Amino acid sequence: MDIGVPKELRDMEFRVAVTPAIAQALVEHGHHVYVEHDAGKGSGFTDLEYEKAGARIVFSTEEAYLRADLLVKVARPTPQEFEWMREGQTVMAFFHLASARVDKILHLLRREVTAVGLELIQRDDGCSPTLRPMSELAGGMLPYVASRFLQNDHGGKGIFLGGVAGVPPAQVVIIGAGTVGCCAAKAFERAGATVHVLDNDIRKLRNAIDMLDGRVITMLAHPANIRKAVSFADVVVTAAREPGKRAPIIVTREMVKSMRRRSLIIDVAVDEGGNVETSRPTSHRNPVFMEEGVMHYCVPNITSVVARTATHALSNALLPFLLEIADQGIDAALEKDTSLARGVYTRGGHIVNKDLAAQRGKELQL
């Protein structure tokens, strides 16, 4: 099978979907891997490394698309990339179609693209093998993000996460006790902050307590508790999402207004539409904005600035699925692997993901 690996075109996106080692594994299975010139540069991989692995270098994103039966990338394709998709092609990416523009979904349908959302692939036990490594990494990065934007020179309120003798640590509120939330809680606790975790699933709260040996305060995530928690927080992290659905709004504008001035909101779910009513997507180039006197950090691709680590983690997780599709063909792979099949948004000109169809069907006149 011909496999294309394009350079990511979105601003400040340094990751690449496939490392040279993973490209070599695909080549050894008899497949052709076409890597765009400098696609791996942001992650520290040279064209020569890909060539030594057996991949072939192409010199435009368009060529990477046109040569590929299977196109694998990281970020949601740009409008131009949707134009380059071939009829019947399989494309794997973090599509996040629940929050995408309707015209992008229509393009996938018209071209009969098999669109596999890396955020949707899910095993029977609920584990998301391709999303999890990015979630773990993002959660672990959040104390560094918070420390930076709590500083006065970045517009923050001048708080040190861990406090010092005689001065209490920062109050961190995390809403959503999934992978991102638990990894963030662990990282913030290690940084010395006082950590509060909210979720509407008691089992997840127990898991957070066990993970941190009780060094965390847990609360049920009903509106009264959320309202109370955000009012005293120095940092609010929102990470509530359901695969394939738009992220729910759980922090309203009125709640944001109740927060202390120059506190910080980190909306990790912004790639799925966001959990905070006042959120809007930002970028690593301009990561924050002030709204209602509160700083908002709403970068969809948080892990892109630790690109080498992120690329290794994602590429390792992708390999089994890439080999399944390449070795067996997309039809057989989807029939055999229910985890992969759960990741499909569109196929053969139809929306096959029930959540997307239910949520966007009226807009698409389905």
The most distant pair of C-alpha atoms in the chain lies apart, rounded to whole Å, by 65
* Range list of β-strands (E), the chain: 2-5, 32-36, 56-58, 70-72, 90-93, 114-117, 171-175, 194-199, 217-220, 235-238, 264-267, 288-291, 294-297, 344-347, 350-351
Instruction: List the catalytic residue out of 47, 69, 199, 271.
Output: 271
Instruction: List the catalytic residue out of 31, 47, 69, 96.
Output: 96
DSSP letter for 275, please: S
- Whether 96 is catalytic: yes
Quickly list DSSP for 94-159: ---GGGS-HHHHHHHHHTT-EEEETTT---TTS--TTTHHHHHHHHHHHHHHHHHHTSGGGTS---
* Strand order, beta sheet including 56-58: 56-58, 32-36, 2-5, 70-72, 90-93, 114-117, 344-347, 350-351
- Whether 47 is catalytic: no
**Look-up of token digits 């990494």:** 137
Positions marked active-site: 96, 271
